[in-house]
């Protein structure tokens, strides 16, 4: 990456951090209103507007400072219902792109976090203000791997269920980690551009959120090449294409999530194997450039 690229990356990262800190301080002053029953609805409306304002500022910084480019068809989701957002995971830039696609005009995005994050500056305020699901691990020492997986799944389900009362879109990277060629070779599987998806957490989310309706948003992120967040912020990633498809949560049976994910991932892999996502004949590739 060139020196101007490094300068753009540093400038954009600093500006995004300041943007996050500014809104977090504002939320901190407003947070007491959340504890008062009469003002909870007001607080939720205001905090959601703050979230979208922060995302729009990030979009502007990425477009004009980083000169980052990504394209997608406009997505509209019902902000009064919970949603699950699935995406393949290639870079930490994925979070910025997913927020732009989903939250700019739709529901806010929440992430499943560890309880320890509550005690961290800024992140703690955000988790409390937006009711981010928190995973509290209480698995006893010496428990078997299967027992720990069952416990994690139960905790994920409990955390996701909270979104029925505070609707949002919960993001899940079903691969569990970022894709690299080394990880793909180590894990095996039948995919050329993806890691095998893991059904446990997704199944727990579907089971917990089915009573609230809503949709599963399946996002496919296609980078021209493997890039780091720093390269993305420096404008060196090249154009990133984003395709999406929505599926009602109630259409996916919790006991068949692995089979359903395998099918989705096979479609993603085929889509990513094309020379250009925009040229695909798939109904997932009807894209338009971000405005």
**Distances in Å between the alpha carbon of 210 and those of 106, 110, 111, 122, 214?**
19, 17, 18, 32, 8
What is the spatial distance between Cα 74 and Cα 76, in angstroms, rounded to a whole number? 7
270 within some domain: yes
First to last CA, the chain: 26
37 within some domain: no
47 within some domain: no
Instruction: Give the distance from CA 143 to its chain's centroid.
Output: 30
pLDDT values of the chain reduced to their tens digit, one per residue, 291 residues: 888 889 999 999 999 999 999 999 999 999 999 888 888 889 988 999 999 999 999 999 998 888 888 888 888 888 888 899 999 999 889 999 999 999 888 889 988 777 777 888 888 888 888 888 776 655 555 556 566 666 666 777 777 777 777 788 999 898 888 888 888 888 877 888 999 998 888 888 888 888 777 889 999 999 988 888 999 999 888 889 999 999 998 898 888 999 999 999 999 999 888 745 544 434 443 333 333
The DSSP symbol for 118 reads G
Domain coverage including residue 252: 69-285
Domains in the chain, number: 1
The DSSP symbol for 125 reads H
Model confidence, pTM: 0.84
121 within some domain: yes
16 within some domain: no
260 neighbors 248 (Cβ within 8 angstroms): no
What is the spatial distance between Cα 36 and Cα 83, in angstroms, rounded to a whole number? 27
CATH of residue 124: 3.40.1130
42 within some domain: no
145 within some domain: yes
266 within some domain: yes
């Amino acid at each position: 990456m060139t020196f101007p690229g490094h300068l753009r990356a540093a400038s954009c990262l600093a500006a995004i951090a300041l943007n996050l800190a500014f809104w977090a301080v504002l939320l901190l002053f407003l947070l007491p209103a959340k504890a008062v029953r009469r003002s909870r609805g007001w607080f939720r409306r205001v905090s959601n507007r703050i979230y979208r304002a922060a995302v729009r500022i990030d979009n502007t910084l990425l477009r004009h400072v980083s000169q980052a480019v990504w394209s997608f068809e406009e997505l509209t989701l019902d902000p009064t219902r919970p949603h699950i957002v699935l995406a393949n995971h290639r870079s930490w830039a994925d979070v910025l792109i997913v927020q732009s696609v989903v939250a700019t005009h739709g529901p806010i995005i929440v992430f499943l976090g560890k309880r320890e994050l509550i005690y961290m500056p800024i992140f703690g305020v955000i988790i409390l203000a937006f009711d981010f699901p928190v995973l509290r691990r209480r698995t006893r020492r010496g428990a078997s791997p299967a027992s720990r997986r069952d416990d994690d799944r139960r905790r994920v389900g409990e955390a996701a269920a909270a979104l029925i009362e505070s609707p949002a879109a919960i993001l899940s990277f079903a691969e569990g980690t970022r894709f690299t060629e080394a990880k793909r070779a180590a894990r095996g599987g039948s995919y050329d551009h993806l890691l095998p998806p893991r059904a446990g957490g997704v199944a727990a989310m579907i089971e917990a959120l089915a009573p609230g309706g809503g949709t599963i948003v399946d996002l496919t992120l296609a980078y021209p090449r493997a890039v780091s967040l720093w390269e993305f912020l420096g404008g060196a990633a090249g154009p990133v294409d984003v395709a999406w498809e929505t599926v009602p949560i109630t259409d996916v049976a919790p006991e068949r999530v692995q089979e359903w994910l395998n099918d989705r991932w096979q479609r993603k892999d085929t889509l990513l194997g094309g020379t250009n996502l925009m040229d695909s004949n798939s109904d997932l590739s009807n894209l338009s450039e971000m405005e």
